[in-house]
């Protein structure tokens, strides 16, 4: 690690020990804000004072954003404490900004950077990849005779409207209310006619209650011609970079929340053990906690590698981001379910030591659940999978760029404007998996056995892709195939990280990750009971040590307050 | 099939109608429930109405004028109530437990006192959990020290449903030994001030309307005749009483699951995706709805068979009730997770309408999801419940290998629509001597189905194939269970096998109930070509394969045309209020018996 980001450390220092009852930004403060459906303004102020707001503005625009995996760690720290803040302070304004950096003119970029660097946020109106699952635009934009635009209609999801000076607004600019044919606008509130926008705050969101959400009704709201962001009717293309980055960043952010939930559950077990003077806990409890630990490392490896791929192999990375979002959302939602069974009664309490659990579970579910969104991810994965499986897999000629797995090293600049479509290309991750597995398949180690199955799965997937008629609508089986592919990509990412950083993922942990990922594929369990128990013990000791030493259970394993 | 007017399914529908009408119609009822949830209060008008409808009577023994003569009826009544709001049922669960314990071990006087209180509207508090041990009764540390003709209490019971109701049945230590726990029926309204403290209502994520709190005793004294049964018999009484309640507790996930399925199906039809087509046009959404309906049918089969078995296979209840206690909410979790995905952002309406009817539906779905999650609050991790099955593995393996079964008891449990007979609590035991008849007779049942479908249509032969696969998996599960050596601390594998056994039981329940109903119910669309049974078995088999670490079978779902048919039935049922499952409440029949 030669590139230590300072922002995550700042965030951790500002929040301090979350379990400390006297800490004004501890879990109980986060919970109190959540109960009253308010943002944690005190934390926002402290973050602004420390200049964390500059983390979402590119260096070229005067901020500190250089690479996506570094921003992800800052977001992760926010999400470790309060996902609502992670969205309203980090992800949501960043997403809005990406549209401007990618498609905006010099003036729009400068205005946006100035707002963000001054500690103001940019609202998303109908343009919030964190919420939207690709459904319709609620607003309609009509161009008037003088070249300006008129916005009408009602948009159900508007973030932070009351507190911002500007918003990125999505509106359909054709007759039908479909996404295609929509345009984006950078709207400054000071330029809007009085009373043209009516904002109704949402009253009762299940998750992310600290994000000031509302619905916006626009009536004859005229905006100047220069508000148009990018080309008219091309919102889908303009938004592609935001969607891609959002899909890449969210899983990495979830790692923070899941880590807190995992620590809470592990602490409850340790505490329970002390109370009962009992030497051990039920075997199911250990299995549950180590399963979550394993999955958390897999999500971290996959999302971090995906974010690095956005810089290094952008033509491949859209599909990786969609795959990471799909698989990680499944893993993370399952992790919360598993932890719920460990915490038992405590998992449902909004008071007491573990109350933060139910809040994190709600917040994460608000961004991770939803078949339309997850199906949309798979739909974006399928065409690339078909192409590269047929054309490039197992040929071994496309090695991955060296930096992909060298976590913490510097990356080339991110291109915000890259369009969503790419010519068929190599599949770096799969080629890494295939090469590593072929090298190991003869080994008597557990990894040898896992390699054999991974290679069989790759073969099977390639055959299935070859047999598939790409012109037909995707069937449930096609989606299942794409789902299997996402698990193989995650396996590749973990293996790549292991090869370059064996201190972050050692061989036992890699075995655990691969075995868990293979459980999502239609194959028999690979490890027998004795092997499972050995792997589990190794992970269990590592987990307890990390929780006791207040180090997160992710690949950073750095020190956090508490 | 012609339903008898006394059929529990008709009774439940009638109860539902009276409940809804009593609250001023469905929209008003839904609004009241949503408001109470928001205010975190039990809806008082519902409490009174349920009293008028005599629901609590069903928690009381028949010889005292109660309706507890029929667990199947109770299952269906709780289920329709759970379909409206899980918070409403939780209190009745506690009353049922308290009443069951006093029925099993209490004196006539205690029982009469309890019956009178419950009739008068008292909800009985049930005191098992303590702050650190959830359902682990071996850790109950509340002490009751005998001083002359009184007991002095010290310790805390929490979380506890209806702690402030005036009457509570709690487990306490009456001596230092392992077998010195006793059950006490406490009039909390008669305790001396300053000797106890009612703890504040617990803030929960779900079931917010339920009265969940606790009670802390600090020297409170109660008369010695509060003792239920002899000193030291408390644990045994709790184990038996719990079997009775657990045998109907599947009503909660069943009601919640059905509610969620109805909301999500309606959405899938009305909500449109990017290109203007309905959500239900997405193949993954269609598959999710079909899967959920199948899981619900599987859960229902296990629930109905177990509720009836409480009467006719009472001595097996230590196994059956533990199975269904874990199985039903576990299937509910899968189902609601599946539906939350179908529903997309509406399940956590950040993308939903901010007001109006659509918003109410969004909020209702979220409420079901979090209420269902919070069901674990009284039982903690399922491992405590599974321990009770794991401890009986040797008996279950022997029973399966020998094919032993109480044919008569099982036949009576299967014969839906007939009276199943009186429940005799004296037959409850902490161990099942015969094991589990439903699973142990699975090979014989499969062979019999084989003969039955020999000249039948393809669909029924497909069902036979599924039954054979289930039997093969039963062989595999039992072979692995043989390897488990009895231990104080079961291994992770033992828990996995217990979970596999639960799925086997559900599969067996599907086949038993299908076999018992086929012929009589062929005119119902769900029964044609054994549609519901095949759908349910596909889901259970997929879960079983995964649980056992086996590669899934090549065919692992209904054929497209069958799935479409099931989806069409589901949509129609949601539109007109008909049952979505084979044994759901059936409205439109006159219910003749007096009370409900």
- Over residues B429-463, the pLDDT tens digits come to 999 999 999 999 999 999 999 999 999 999 999 99
For β-strands A166-172 and A122-125, DSSP reports them as parallel
Do the Cβ atoms of B132 and A272 come within 8 Å? yes
Q: CB distance B202–A473 less than 8 Å?
A: no
Task: Tell me the mean pLDDT in the region B523-543.
Answer: 97
**Angle in degrees, CA B498, B499, B502, rounded to 5:** 90
User: Is it the case that residue A175 has pLDDT exceeding 60?
Assistant: no
Helix, strand, coil percent content, chain A, rounded in steps of 5:
60, 10, 30
Dist CA A330 CA A326 (whole Å): 7
- A365 pLDDT above the threshold of 80: yes
Whether residue B79 has pLDDT greater than 50:
yes
Of these ranges, A29-43, A116-130, A179-193, B120-134, the one predicted with the greatest mean pLDDT is A29-43
In this predicted model, what pLDDT tens digit does every residue of B37-50 receive, in sequence order?
Answer: 989 998 888 888 98
**A536 part of contact set with chain B, CB < 8 Å:** yes
Q: How far apart are CA A287 and CA A275, in angstroms?
A: 21
- Residue B342: closest C-alpha in chain A: A371
User: B273 contacts in A (CB within 8 Å)?
Assistant: 134-135, 372
| Predicted TM-score of the model (pTM) | 0.93
Measured distance CA(B578)–CA(B596) in Å, rounded: 20
What is the distance in angstroms between the Cα of B522 and the nearest Cα belonging to chain A? Answer: 30
**Cβ contacts of A348 on chain B, cutoff 8 Å:** 204-206, 373-374, 376-377
Chain A residues near residue B549 by CB distance under 8 angstroms: 524-525
| A314-343 vs A371-391: helix crossing angle, rounded to 10 | 130
Residue A562, pLDDT above cutoff 90? no
Q: Which of A37, A289, A345 is the best mutation test for B, with the most CBs of B within 10 A?
A: A345
Q: Which of B34, B282, B284 to mutate to test the interface with A (most CBs of A within 10 A)?
A: B284
Residue A369 C-alpha, separation from nearest chain B C-alpha, in angstroms = 6
Angstroms from A520 CA to nearest CA on chain B: 9
Residues 6+ apart with CB under 8 A from B104: B229, B237, B240, B241, B425, B428
- Please tell me the predicted confidence (pLDDT) of residue B363: 82
Question: How far, in Å, CA of A78 to CA of B495, rounded?
Answer: 37
| Burial call A68-80: b when 16+ CB within 10 Å, e when fewer | bbbbbbbbbbbbb
CB atoms within 10 A of CB A552: 25
Indicate whether A177 pLDDT > 60. no
Beta-carbon separation of B354 and A342 below 8 A: no
Q: Please list every residue in chain A whose beta carbon sits closer than 8 Å to the beta carbon of residue B337.
A: 333, 337
Task: Collect all residues of chain B within an 8 Å Cβ-Cβ radius of residue A156.
Answer: 351-354
Q: How many CB atoms lie within 10 A of CB B182?
A: 25
CA distance to partner chain B, nearest, from residue A399 (Å): 32
Contact A524 B549 (CB under 8 A): yes
Q: The tokens of A525 are what?
A: 């369990």
Q: With bands split at pLDDT 50, 70 and 90, how would you rate the model's confidence at B383?
A: confident
H or E element, residue B217: strand B212-223
ipTM of the complex: 0.91
Nearest to B596 by CA among B27, B25, B80, B28: B80
Residue A447 neighbours by CB under 8 Å, 6+ apart: A440, A507, A510, A511, A514
CB contact under 8 A, B353 and A136: no
* Nearest to A129, CA basis, from B351, B48, B162: B351
- CA A528, A530, A531, A533 torsion: positive or negative? positive
**Average of per-residue pLDDT across A140-144:** 91
How long is chain B?
Answer: 596
Position B408 confidence tier, pLDDT thresholds 50, 70, 90: very high
Task: Compute the distance between CA of residue A507 and CA of residue A475 in angstroms, rounded to an integer.
Answer: 37
- Count other C-beta atoms under 10 Å from residue B402's C-beta: 10
Tokens linked to B182: 């006793």
Dihedral (Cα; B396, B400, B404, B407), 10-degree rounding: 100
Which has the closest alpha carbon to B30: B361, B392, B318? Answer: B361
* C-alpha to C-alpha distances, B26 to B12, B49, B91, B110, B366, nearest whole angstrom: 16, 15, 22, 39, 19
8 Å CB contact of A372 and B493: no
Residue listed under structure tokens 């039992």: B478
> pLDDT band at A176, cuts 50/70/90?
very low
Comparison of pLDDT for A360 and B7, the residue scoring more:
A360
Which of A492, A467, A500 is closest to A481 using CA atoms? A467
Percent of residues in chain B assigned helix, strand, coil, to nearest 5: 60, 10, 30
Name A194's Cβ contacts closer than 8 Å, sequence gap at least 6: none
For chain A, give the number of residues.
562
Give B352's pLDDT tier (boundaries 50, 70, 90). Answer: very low
Residue B465 has pLDDT above 80, yes or no: yes
How far apart are the C-alpha atoms of B66 and B54, rounded to whole Å? 9
Q: Give the pair of three-digit tokens for residue A66.
A: 């250089």
Q: A371 and B288: CB-CB below 8 Å?
A: yes
Give the model confidence (pLDDT) of A187-236 as tens digits: 999 999 999 999 988 766 778 889 988 889 999 999 999 999 998 888 87
B321-337: per-residue pLDDT in tens? Answer: 999 999 999 999 999 98
Distances (CA, A) of B436 to A248, B18, B71, B318, B439: 50, 38, 19, 10, 6
pLDDT(B78) > 60: yes
8 A C-beta contact, residue A553 and residue A262: yes
Say what the pLDDT of residue B594 is. 41
Of A351, A349, A360, nearest to A84 by C-alpha is A360
Taking the CA of residue B63 and the nearest CA in chain A, the distance in Å comes to 36
Which H/E stretch holds residue B562? helix B560-576
Rounded to the nearest angstrom, the minimum Cα separation between B415 and chain A is 36
Higher confidence at residue B306 or residue A235?
B306
* Contacts with B, A 2-41, CB within 8 Å: none
Give the residues across from A187 on adjacent strands.
A167
Neighbouring-strand partners of residue A350 = none
Structure-block tokens of residue B297: 């049918």
User: Any chain B CB within 8 A of the CB of A275?
Assistant: yes
From residue A423, alpha-carbon distances to A193, A225, A431, B59, B220 in Å are 45, 34, 18, 68, 79
Q: Which of B276, B333, B366 sits opposite A206 (nearest CB)?
A: B366
For residue B5, the SS3 value is coil
Average pLDDT value for chain B: 89
DSSP, collapsed to helix, strand or coil, labels residue B553 as coil
Give residue B272's pLDDT band: very low, low, confident or very high (50, 70, 90): low
The reported pLDDT for the residue numbered A370 is 61
Q: How far is Cα A326 from Cα A376, in angstroms, rounded to an integer?
A: 9
Query: Which of A207, A364, A371 is most worth mutating to test chain B (most B CB atoms within 10 A of its CB)?
Result: A371
Cβ atoms of B204 and B376 closer than 8 Å: no
Please report the DSSP string for A419-484 in residue order.
-S-------HHHHHHHHHHHHHTT-SSHHHHHHHHHHHHHHHHHHHHHHS-TTSPP-HHHHHHHHH
Predicted confidence at residue B125, as pLDDT, reads 84
CA distance A561 to chain B (A): 27
pLDDT at B275 over 80: no
Comparing A329-338, B106-115, B344-353, the range with the smallest average pLDDT is B344-353
Query: Residue A151, CB half-sphere, CA atoms under 13 Å: how many?
Result: 33
Comparison of pLDDT for A189 and B357, the residue scoring more:
A189
Q: Which of B343, B333, B332 is nearest to B282 (CA)?
A: B343
Q: Nearest CA to CA, how far is A207 from chain B (Å)? A: 6
* Cα–Cα distance list, A400 to A304, A316, A486, B112, B285 (Å): 15, 11, 17, 78, 36
Which two tokens mark B260? 């969620």
Closest chain B C-alpha to A425 CA, distance in angstroms: 28
3-state secondary structure of B178: coil
Q: Give me the percent of chain A exceeding a pLDDT of 70.
A: 91
Of the partner residues A204, A207, A358, the one whose CB lies closest to the CB of residue B363: A204
**pLDDT value at residue B593:** 46
Q: Which of A99, A16, A79, A10 is nearest to A48 (CA)?
A: A10
> Whose structure tokens read 């439109």?
B588
pLDDT, one tens digit per residue, over A242-251 is 889 999 999 9
- Number of other residues whose CB lies within 10 A of the CB of residue B487: 11
How far is Cα B159 from Cα A351, in angstroms, rounded to an integer? Answer: 12
Contact B6, B335 (CB under 8 A): no
Provide the pLDDT for residue A1.
38
**Structure confidence at residue B230 (pLDDT):** 96
Per-residue pLDDT tens over the stretch A15-71: 999 999 999 999 999 999 999 989 999 999 999 999 999 999 999 999 999 999 999
CA–CA gap between residue B265 and residue A223 (Å, rounded):
40
The chain-wide mean pLDDT, for chain A, equals 89
- Most confident option among A241-245, A361-365, B308-312: B308-312
Distance, in Å, from the CA atom of B340 to the CA atom of A365, rounded to the nearest integer, reads 10
Rounded Cα gap, residues B400 and B473, in angstroms:
12
> What are the residues facing A183 on neighbouring strands?
A171
The closest alpha carbon to A59, from A312, A305, A412, belongs to A412
pLDDT confidence of residue A2: 38
Instruction: For chain A, positions 310-349, list CB contacts with chain B under 8 A.
Output: 333, 337, 340-342, 344-345, 347-349
Chain A residues with CB under 8 Å of B345 CB are 131-133, 369-370, 372-373
**Could you tell me the sign of the dihedral formed by the alpha carbons of A83, A85, A89, A92, in that order?**
positive
- For A172, the 3-state DSSP assignment is strand
Confidence at residue B268, expressed as pLDDT on a 0 to 100 scale: 86
Residue ranges with strand state E in A68-211: 122-125, 139-143, 149-159, 166-172, 182-188, 197-201
As a whole number, mean pLDDT of residues A360-388 equals 83
Give strand pairing partners of B221. Answer: B152
Please check whether residue B17 is in contact with residue B79, taking contact to mean a CB–CB distance below 8 angstroms: no
Say if residue B34's pLDDT is above 50. yes
Residues 6+ apart with CB under 8 A from A274: none
How far apart CA B453 and CA B455 sit, in angstroms, is 6
Closest residue on chain B to A200 (Cα): B354
Nearest to A404 by CA among A298, A311, A299: A311
Residue with tokens 């349910």: B536
């Amino acid at each position: 690690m030669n590139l230590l980001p300072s922002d995550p450390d700042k965030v951790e220092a500002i929040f301090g020990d979350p379990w400390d009852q006297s800490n004004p930004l501890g879990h109980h403060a986060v919970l109190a804000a959540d109960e009253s459906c308010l943002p944690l303004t005190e934390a926002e102020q402290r973050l602004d004072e420390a200049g964390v707001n500059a983390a979402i503005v590119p260096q070229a625009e005067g901020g500190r954003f250089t690479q996506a995996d570094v921003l992800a760690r800052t977001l992760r720290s926010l999400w470790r404490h309060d996902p609502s803040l992670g969205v309203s302070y980090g992800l949501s304004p960043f997403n809005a900004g990406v549209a401007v950096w990618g498609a905006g003119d010099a003036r729009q970029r400068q205005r946006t950077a100035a707002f963000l660097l001054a500690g103001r946020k940019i609202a998303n109106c109908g343009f919030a990849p964190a919420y939207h699952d690709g459904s319709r635009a609620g607003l309609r934009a009509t161009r008037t005779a003088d070249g300006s635009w008129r916005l009408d209609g009602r948009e159900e999801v508007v973030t932070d409207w009351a507190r911002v000076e500007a918003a990125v607004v999505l509106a359909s600019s054709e007759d039908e209310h479909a996404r295609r044919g929509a345009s984006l606008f950078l709207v400054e509130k000071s330029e809007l006619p009085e009373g043209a926008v009516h904002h109704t705050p949402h009253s009762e969101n299940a998750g992310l209650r600290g994000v000031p959400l509302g619905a916006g009704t626009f009536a004859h709201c005229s905006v100047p011609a220069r508000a148009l962001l990018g080309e008219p009717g091309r919102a889908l293309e303009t938004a592609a970079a935001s969607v891609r980055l959002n899909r890449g960043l969210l899983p990495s952010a979830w790692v923070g929340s899941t880590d807190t939930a995992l620590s809470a559950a592990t602490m409850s077990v340790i505490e329970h053990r002390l109370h009962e003077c009992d030497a051990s806990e039920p075997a199911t409890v250990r299995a549950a906690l180590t399963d979550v630990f394993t999955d958390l490392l897999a999500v971290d490896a996959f999302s971090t590698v995906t974010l690095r791929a956005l810089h290094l192999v952008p033509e491949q990375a859209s599909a990786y981001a969609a795959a990471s979002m799909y698989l990680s959302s499944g893993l993370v939602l399952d992790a919360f379910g598993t932890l719920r069974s460990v915490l038992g009664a405590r998992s449902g309490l909004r008071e007491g030591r573990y109350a933060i659990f139910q809040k994190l579970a709600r917040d994460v579910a608000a961004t991770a659940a939803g078949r339309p969104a997850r199906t949309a991810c798979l739909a974006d994965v399928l065409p690339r999978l078909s192409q590269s499986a047929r054309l490039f897999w197992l040929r071994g000629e496309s090695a991955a760029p060296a930096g992909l797995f060298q976590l913490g090293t510097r990356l080339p600049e991110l291109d915000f404007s890259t369009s969503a479509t790419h010519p068929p290309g190599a599949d770096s991750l799969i080629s890494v998996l295939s090469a590593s597995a072929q090298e190991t398949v003869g080994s008597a180690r557990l990894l040898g056995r896992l390699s054999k199955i991974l290679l069989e799965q790759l073969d099977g997937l390639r055959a299935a892709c070859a047999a598939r008629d790409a012109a037909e609508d995707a069937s449930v089986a096609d989606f299942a195939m794409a789902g299997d592919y996402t698990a193989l990509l995650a396996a590749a990412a973990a293996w790549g990280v292991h090869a370059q950083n064996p201190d972050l993922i050692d061989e036992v942990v890699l075995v655990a990750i691969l075995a868990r990922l293979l459980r999502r594929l239609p194959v028999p369990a690979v490890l027998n009971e004795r092997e499972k128990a050995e792997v589990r013990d190794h992970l269990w000791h590592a987990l307890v040590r990390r929780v006791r030493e207040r180090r997160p259970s992710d690949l950073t394993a750095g020190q956090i307050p508490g | 099939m012609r339903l008898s007017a006394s059929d529990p399914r008709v009774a439940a529908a009638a109860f539902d109608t009276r409940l809804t009408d009593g609250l001023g119609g469905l929209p008003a009822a839904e609004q009241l429930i949503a408001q109470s949830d928001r205010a975190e209060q039990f809806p008082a008008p519902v409490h009174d109405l349920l009293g008028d409808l005599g629901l609590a009577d069903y928690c009381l023994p028949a010889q005292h004028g109660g309706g507890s003569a029929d667990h199947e009826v109770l299952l269906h009544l709780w289920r329709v109530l759970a379909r409206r709001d899980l918070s409403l049922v939780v209190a009745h669960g506690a009353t049922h437990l308290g009443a069951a314990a006093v029925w099993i071990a209490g004196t006539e006087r205690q029982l009469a006192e309890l019956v009178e209180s419950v009739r008068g509207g008292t909800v009985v508090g049930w005191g098992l959990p303590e702050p650190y041990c959830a359902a682990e009764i071996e850790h109950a540390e509340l002490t009751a020290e005998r001083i002359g003709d009184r007991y002095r209490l010290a310790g805390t019971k929490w979380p506890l449903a209806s702690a402030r109701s005036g009457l509570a049945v709690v487990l306490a230590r009456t001596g230092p030994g392992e077998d010195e726990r006793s059950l006490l029926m406490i009039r909390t309204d008669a305790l001396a001030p300053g000797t106890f403290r009612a703890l504040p209502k617990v803030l929960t994520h779900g079931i917010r309307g339920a009265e969940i709190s606790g009670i802390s005793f600090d020297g409170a004294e109660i008369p010695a005749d509060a003792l239920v049964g002899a000193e030291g018999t408390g644990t045994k009484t709790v184990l038996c009483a719990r079997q009775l309640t657990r045998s109907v507790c599947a009503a909660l996930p069943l009601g919640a699951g059905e509610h969620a399925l109805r909301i999500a199906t309606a959405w899938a039809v009305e909500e449109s995706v990017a290109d203007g087509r309905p959500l239900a046009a997405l193949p993954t959404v269609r598959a999710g709805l079909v899967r959920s309906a199948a899981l619900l049918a599987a859960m229902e089969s296990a629930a109905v068979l177990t509720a009836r078995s409480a009467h006719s296979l009472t001595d097996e209840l230590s196994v059956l009730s533990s199975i269904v206690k874990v199985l039903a909410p576990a299937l509910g979790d899968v189902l609601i997770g599946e539906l939350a995905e179908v529903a997309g952002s509406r399940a956590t309406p950040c993308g939903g309408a901010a007001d109006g009817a659509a918003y109410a539906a969004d909020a209702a779905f979220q409420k079901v999801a979090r209420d269902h999650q919070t069901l674990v609050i009284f039982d903690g991790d399922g491992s405590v419940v599974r321990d009770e099955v794991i401890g009986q593995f040797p008996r279950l393996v022997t029973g399966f290998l020998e094919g032993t079964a109480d044919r008569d008891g099982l036949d009576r449990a299967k014969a839906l629509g007939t009276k199943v007979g009186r429940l005799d609590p004296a037959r409850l035991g902490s161990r099942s001597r015969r094991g589990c008849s439903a699973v142990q007779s699975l090979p014989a049942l499969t062979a019999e189905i084989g003969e039955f479908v020999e000249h039948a249509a393809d669909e029924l032969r497909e069902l036979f194939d599924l039954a054979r696969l289930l039997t093969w998996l039963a062989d595999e599960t039992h072979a692995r269970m043989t390897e488990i050596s009895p231990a104080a601390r079961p291994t992770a594998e033992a828990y996995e096998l217990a979970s596999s056994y639960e799925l086997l039981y559900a599969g067996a329940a599907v086949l038993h109930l299908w076999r018992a109903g086929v012929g009589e119910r062929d005119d119902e669309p769900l029964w044609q070509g054994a549609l519901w049974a095949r759908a349910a078995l596909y889901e259970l088999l997929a879960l079983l394969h995964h649980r056992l670490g086996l590669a899934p079978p090549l065919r692992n779902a209904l054929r497209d045309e069958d799935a479409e048919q099931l989806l069409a039935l589901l949509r129609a049922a949601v539109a007109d209020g008909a049952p979505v499952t084979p044994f759901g409440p059936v409205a439109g029949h006159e219910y003749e018996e007096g009370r409900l």
